[in-house]
Amino acid sequence: MEEYTELVGLKQQYPHLVVVLGTFDGVHRGHQSIIRRGVELARSIDGHCLVFTFQNHPLSVIQGRKEPPRIGTPALGRRLFTRLGVDILVSIPFTKSFASVTPSGFMQMLQRYFAPDYVVTGPNYTFGRYGKGTCRTLVEEGKRYGFTAVTAPPVLQDGKLVSSTRIRSLLHRGMLQQANTCLGYPFTVMGEVIHGQKRGRQLGFPTANLAIADTMAMLPNGVYATLVQVDGSVYGGSANIGDNPTFDNCDRRIEVHIQGFSGDIYGREILVSFLRKIRDEQRFASLDALVAQIRRDEEAVGKITISHLQAPGSMI
């Protein structure tokens, strides 16, 4: 997949483009439906599928407030786009000047840089100043700018729309199974392994530690069964989200014990996919009590992860 972080004229290089528009935070099942439709159309015209999105959430500029917590990092999004068959990703900053572009100006921009044959969106997509442009606008006026607009149908789960807002709420409330169903894959954190206090190693259970950024959506504190991907290999793992209350002065982080793995992975990027919650985080009266509970956690995690490890394509 080719990637661009600024607007670049691609219509000469790619004469038959299908442009898919959206924010795509989390690349959940609703987003996947839109992107698959774009890829399908591109293949039907012997063309290429281009996803056009923004590096920051438009609400942070339009309403002057913090971005909603991100469900996944940009790097995770790129992996998912590639997996879905996207050929080109154009991800640019959303700025105040961009927010002032009118709906017609936005469509002119699409024509100028991409000259798409098709433009694909979800049913709730808006664009242009004050969000006055809608998918209906694209359908009604697209021909003037040389493209056919296609609106993908909504994706529902339990009678409710699958959306990034819904998934953030589910994660915040600890409803992991429901969140994973809406995502279409296990909630996954992708990050660089950082140094910790090495207490896990001293207890016989070394952990890979990931920082939790304030900008990221996260599950409540607790111990979870996970799959962990290291350099393309997948392992079972038990992940503790929290500040390790048995010990003092610990920052909130993710500590993952990777079953059957040994090696120095500080500074390397790993993926941790959350399957099921095992228990709440708790304070232990002694180190012996903590170690005994960790052993029980490891046994429970092993029973949960074994079927996932045997399934092909179990990780993103």
pLDDT tens-digit readout, 57-94: 888 888 766 788 999 999 999 999 999 999 999 999 99
216 neighbors 69 (Cβ within 8 angstroms): yes
- Asked whether residue 166 is assigned to any structural domain, the reply reads no
Does 103 share its domain with 214? Answer: no
Looking at every residue in the chain, the average pLDDT score rounds to 91
- The radius of gyration of the chain's CA atoms, rounded to the nearest angstrom, is 22
- What span, in angstroms and rounded, lies between the C-alpha atoms of 136 and 126? 10
- Asked whether residue 11 is assigned to any structural domain, the reply reads yes
Query: Within 10 A of 15 (CB to CB), how many other CB atoms are there?
Result: 13
202-229 average pLDDT score:
88
312 neighbors 275 (Cβ within 8 angstroms): no
Does 217 share its domain with 296? Answer: yes
Does 227 share its domain with 297? Answer: yes
Does 241 share its domain with 128? Answer: no
pLDDT digits (tens, 9 = 90+) for 13-60: 999 999 999 999 999 999 999 999 999 999 999 999 999 999 988 888
248 — pLDDT class (breaks 50, 70, 90): low
∠ Cα 120 126 130 (to 5°)? 155
200 — pLDDT class (breaks 50, 70, 90): low
Q: Which pairing describes strands 88-92 and 2-4: parallel, antiparallel, or unpaired?
A: parallel
Domain that holds residue 48: 2-160
206 — pLDDT class (breaks 50, 70, 90): confident
Whose tokens are 């992996």? That residue is 79
CATH number at residue 220: 2.40.30.30
In the chain, DSSP assigns E strands to 2-4, 17-21, 48-54, 88-92, 118-121, 126-127, 133-134, 148-151, 156-157, 160-161, 188-192, 208-211, 222-230, 233-242, 253-258, 269-279
- What span, in angstroms and rounded, lies between the C-alpha atoms of 198 and 204? 10
* pLDDT at residue 211, as a whole number: 92
* pLDDT at residue 246, as a whole number: 52
pLDDT at residue 138 is higher than 80: yes
- Asked whether residue 316 is assigned to any structural domain, the reply reads no
pLDDT digits (tens, 9 = 90+) for 290-314: 888 888 998 999 999 988 887 766 6
Structure pTM? 0.91
